[in-house]
Structure 1
Amino acid sequence: MSQSSVETRPHAQRGVGDLFTAGGRLAAIPRKAARREQLLVHLAETLFAADREYTEPEVNRLLLTVHEDCAALRRYMVIAGHLTRTRDGAGYRRATTTL
């Protein structure tokens, strides 16, 4: 039984497939804000469950699966509002939005 290319390449279904290598790693963090926003939405929806809190090391481990600069990705995600940080900075949650 074969899987479709969308199932084997989840990045393709959100229009960000060209940002990733064949191995599933992010080639580079986009410089253009609109393209970066598209990527951040994709990462939030695919890496983080909406119903749980993550520690900073957990967030870093998840982001490291796609790019070595997990600190930049984490910062971009918080600034863009895709991840929220607890007041004490110890926990992160995927922001819930209605699109």
Structure 2
Amino acid sequence: MALERFLKDGKLITIPRKQKAKEALFDALSEKFEFDRDYSEKEVNAILAEVYDDYAILRRYLVDTKRLARDDYGHHYCRIKLEK
């Protein structure tokens, strides 16, 4: 899936509507995080803000699609393997 049409100068212009394109985007975003490493919410936000101004929605999508896990308080995040 070519994500370039959703990007301009390396920044995401819009979140794709089609599920297949969304999945490809979320896969690409999850690759910005290392396995076996804890990230603070501030670190996650900084990484995602490089891609899209509304980093909070991207963070929610990554958690909702089980690409990132977070603690009950939303302070710590980690990348998890996506089960397909």
TM range (shorter): 0.7 to 0.9
Residue 20 of structure 1: aligned partner? 7
Cα RMSD of the aligned pairs, angstroms, is: 1.6
- Deviation, structure 1 residue 16: 1.8
Distance in 2 of aligned mates of 1:51 and 1:63 = 19
| TM-score, normalised by the number of residues in structure 2 | 0.88
- The answer to which structure, 1 or 2, has the higher relative contact order (CA under 8 A, 6+ apart) is 2
Q: 1:63 aligns with which of 20, 27, 48?
A: 48
Identical pairs, percent: 38
Residue 23 of structure 2: aligned partner? 37
Could you say what secondary structure the match of 2:12 adopts? coil
- The 8 Å contact of residues 10 and 51 in structure 2, kept in 1 or not, is answered as yes
Any unmatched runs of 5+ in structure 2?
Answer: none
Larger radius of gyration: 1
More helix by proportion, 1 or 2? 1
- Deviation, structure 1 residue 26: 0.6
Pairs aligned (count): 84
Distance in 2 of aligned mates of 1:42 and 1:98 = 16
Any unmatched runs of 5+ in structure 1?
Answer: 1-13
